[in-house]
């Protein structure tokens, strides 16, 4: 290892450290000093980048490309990268119409400078792979692809009973907040969905909330009823479809205990027309009263309500549970005091003994 002095091609003097066999060192020295000095090299590189960036900005304006977002340095770099990107993309020969469509999508939607920086590999193969990914991301193409996939899945999602009475199939869709049933006008179908609490809103649908159970259970329940009535059904979810065929679902509970809004009361609700026994025994809970459509009970009688709920299969809503828990906390926090026994009877006993010992008779008790 040794240091060698020399003059770079830019005319500046400098030193360079060279290691390796002695016979090669002179050749290495000549090669190094035939270039620009480090400072001039960095300056030339910086000026070249600035020139490319300025040209990219001008070309972006000429092509009416959207302005990029990001830091000043990111935008300057990304403008040049975007121009190179578009130049390379124009060299792709496979399906020009499709390539043009994807390119237009990129220009319109990829406006973050960081996107071009992250995808700055300009090799033809890498751009081809990138375009394939972008194609699947495009909304209209994504919708087409999803519809094609859904069509295949739907064909595999149909289940029908051995005794199959009605044409086509009922399509059951599961959403987070509702279950939807789609079928042609049919009175038997209409009777089933109405009985299970579905409402017509341009389509038959059931709102999913705390008291209905999960959308998966409600879809399986509907599917089970329809299969038993002779309808074929289509449910995309394999597990839900199998549960419908097997009748394997958590039945919807119709008997609930709510918190009466803005009060410390519990409201016992059950379907109209249920057993009269439920009403009679609900009214046996202390201080209960009927307030249509519920039997109302103060939370202080929660223990009796819990016993009642267990016997008749009622469930508590979260707000009702919270009210009971809050009441328990308040009761537990009340200060206990030691109660002194009442002594009136003791004083009366003393008086009686005194009178007996004196042989006296109370005037009120003397016979005239």
At 296, the pLDDT band (50, 70, 90 cuts) reads very high
At 228, phi and psi to the nearest 5? -65, -25
Cα angle 203, 204, 210; round to 5: 125
Dump pLDDT digits (tens) for 121-142: 766 557 777 877 787 777 665 5
| pLDDT confidence of residue 353 | 63
Average of pLDDT values for 94-112? 82
**Burial class for 166, CB neighbours closer than 10 Å (0-12, 13-18, 19+):** middle
| pLDDT confidence of residue 150 | 60
| pLDDT confidence of residue 348 | 56
- Domain layout of the chain by residue ranges: 2-35, 65-140, 158-246, 256-333
Q: Which residues contact 216 (CB under 8 A, 6 or more apart)?
A: 174, 237, 239, 240, 243, 249
| pLDDT confidence of residue 18 | 80
Dump pLDDT digits (tens) for 171-187: 999 988 999 999 999 99
Tokens of residue 51, six digits: 């020139």
Average of pLDDT values for 66-85? 87
Dump pLDDT digits (tens) for 150-163: 665 566 788 989 88
| pLDDT confidence of residue 84 | 85
Task: Give percent of the chain with pLDDT exceeding 90.
Answer: 41
- C-alpha count within 13 angstroms, C-beta hemisphere, residue 167: 3
Q: At residue 363, does pLDDT exceed 70?
A: no
| In contact, 314 and 257? CB cutoff 8 Å | yes
| pLDDT confidence of residue 103 | 84
Dump pLDDT digits (tens) for 313-329: 999 999 999 999 999 99
Q: What is the reported pTM?
A: 0.51
Which long-range contacts does 256-263 make (Cβ < 8 Å, 24+ apart)? 256/211, 256/314, 256/315, 256/316, 256/317, 257/305, 257/309, 257/314, 257/315, 257/316, 257/317, 257/320, 258/294, 258/317, 258/319, 258/320, 259/317, 259/319, 259/320, 259/322, 259/323, 260/294, 260/296
| pLDDT confidence of residue 367 | 52
| In contact, 298 and 236? CB cutoff 8 Å | no
Secondary structure string (H, E, C) spanning the chain: CEEEEEECCCCCEEEEEECCCHHHHHHHHHHHHCCCCHHHHHHHHHHHHHHHHHHHHHHHHHCCCCCCECCHHHHHHHHHHHHHHHHHHCCCCCCHHHHHHHHHHHHHHCCEHHHHHHCCCCCHHHHHHHHHHHHHHCHHHHHHHHHHHHHHHHHHCEECCCCCCCCCCEEEEECCCEEEEECCCCHHHHHHHHHCCCEECCCEEEECCCCCCCHHHHHHHHHHHHHHCCCCEECCCHHHHHHHHHCCCCCCCCCEEEECCCCCEEEEECCCCCCHHHHHHHCCCCCCEEECCEEEEEHHHHHHHHHHHHHHCCEECHHHHHHHHHHHHHHHHCCCCCCCCCCHHHHHHHHHHHHHHHCCCCHHHCCC
Find tokens 């597990």 and name the residue. Answer: 239
| pLDDT confidence of residue 51 | 84
Q: At residue 1, does pLDDT exceed 80?
A: no
Q: At residue 264, does pLDDT exceed 70?
A: yes
| pLDDT confidence of residue 86 | 83
Q: At residue 360, does pLDDT exceed 70?
A: no
Tokens of residue 53, six digits: 């960036």
Q: Which stretch of 9-18, 175-184, 221-230, 354-363 has the lowest confidence by average pLDDT?
A: 354-363
């Amino acid at each position: 290892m040794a240091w060698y002095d020399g003059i770079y091609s830019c005319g500046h003097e400098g030193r360079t450290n060279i290691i390796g066999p002695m016979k090669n060192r002179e050749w290495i020295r000549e090669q190094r000093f035939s270039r620009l000095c480090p400072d001039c090299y960095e300056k030339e590189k910086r000026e070249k980048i600035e020139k490319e960036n300025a040209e990219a900005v001008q070309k972006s304006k000429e092509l009416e490309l959207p302005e990029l977002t990001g830091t000043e340095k990111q935008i300057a770099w990304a403008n040049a990268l975007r121009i190179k990107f578009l130049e390379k993309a124009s060299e792709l020969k496979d399906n020009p119409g499709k390539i043009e469509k994807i390119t237009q999508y990129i220009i319109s939607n990829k406006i973050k400078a960081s996107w071009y920086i992250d995808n700055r590999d300009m090799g033809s193969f890498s751009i081809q792979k990138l375009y394939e990914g972008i194609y699947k991301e495009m909304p209209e193409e994504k919708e087409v692809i999803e519809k094609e996939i859904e069509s295949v899945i739907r064909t595999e999602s149909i289940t029908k009973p051995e005794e199959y009475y009605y044409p086509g199939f009922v399509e059951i869709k599961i959403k987070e907040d509702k279950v939807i049933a789609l079928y042609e006008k049919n009175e038997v179908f209409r009777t089933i969905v109405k009985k299970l609490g579905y409402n017509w809103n341009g389509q038959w649908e059931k709102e999913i909330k705390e008291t209905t159970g999960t959308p998966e259970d409600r879809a399986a329940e509907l599917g089970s009823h329809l299969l038993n009535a002779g309808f074929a059904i289509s449910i995309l979810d394999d597990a839900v479809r199998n549960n419908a065929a097997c009748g394997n679902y958590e039945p919807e509970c119709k008997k609930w205990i709510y918190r009466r809004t803005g009060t410390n009361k519990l409201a016992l609700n059950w379907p109209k027309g249920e057993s009269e026994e439920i009403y009679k025994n609900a009214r046996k809970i202390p201080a209960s009263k009927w307030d249509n459509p519920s039997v109302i009970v103060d939370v202080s009688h929660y223990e009796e309500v819990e016993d009642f709920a267990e016997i008749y299969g009622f469930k508590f809503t979260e707000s009702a549970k919270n009210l009971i828990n809050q009441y328990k906390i308040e009761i537990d926090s009340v200060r206990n005091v030691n109660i002194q026994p009442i002594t009136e009877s003791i004083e009366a006993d003393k008086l009686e003994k005194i009178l007996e010992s004196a042989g006296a008779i109370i005037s009120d008790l003397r016979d005239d």
